[in-house]
Amino acid sequence: MKIEPGSRLLFIGDSVTDCDRARPVGAGSHAALGHGYVAVVDSALAAGDVSPAIRISNMGISGNTIRDLSSRWDTDVLALRPDWLSVMIGINDVWRQFDGVDASAAVMPDEFERVYDRLISRTLPRLKGLVILSPYYVQAARTDPLRSRMDEYGAIAKRIAGRHGAIFVDVQAALDKALASTDYAAIAGDRVHPTPLGHRLLAGALLGAIGFIVRWRKNPAV
């Protein structure tokens, strides 16, 4: 596995990461990590008997865009001094372009890439490793306007990962594979917020990318 036992692994992102994690810092117990993919990753690593344990923190906040991450990066990432960092952002940056609520909250591609790249450039020298996950939309039709736009942001995330030597997790590709045999509602009823199965798919994609062999029990609890 690429993440060394005993490392501090911090997750940051939006509601998909947040999942009711503890405040101010989602750390210190499994329950503090929320009920989403971060908790699934923690459970898988615990079941794999990684020793000493990887210490996980969840700093996701619902509704966040890359602008929001930038505004809290010093306190919620740098001050916590993780060894490894996992970032998944972009869904709200795109969603605000389509929801008709507040167009000013939308983050256009050039700003998204510029801010994202600046954050990673600042942080990478302090890390042992970095994982970047693509944003996604649970829609198989790539011509769907929101899906097409989300793919643009996924490509930006992949480009940033490549530029900085990070591990890239193509979440959209993993979900597309599942969509070939599973109805979207079983993965995310609103096409964004995952069900337990959806969170397991996210966690599986991430764990595979870091070289952890996943052996799911039948109907594992999240």
CA distances to 5, 86, 151, 222 from 55, in Å: 9, 13, 32, 18
What is the spatial distance between Cα 28 and Cα 52, in angstroms, rounded to a whole number? 15
The answer to whether the bond into 82 is cis (omega within 30° of 0) is no
Tell me which of 68, 176, 190, 199 is the catalytic residue.
190
Tell me which of 7, 14, 15, 110 is the catalytic residue.
15
Tell me which of 83, 148, 176, 193 is the catalytic residue.
193
The pair of structure tokens assigned to 152 is: 């643009």
Closest-CA residue to 20 (of 44, 3, 37, 8): 37
Q: Is 193 a catalytic residue?
A: yes
DSSP 26: B
- At position 110, the amino acid (one-letter code) is D
Closest-CA residue to 16 (of 61, 65, 75): 61
Q: Is 190 a catalytic residue?
A: yes
Q: Is 43 a catalytic residue?
A: no
SS3 154: helix
Positions annotated as catalytic residues are 15, 190, 193
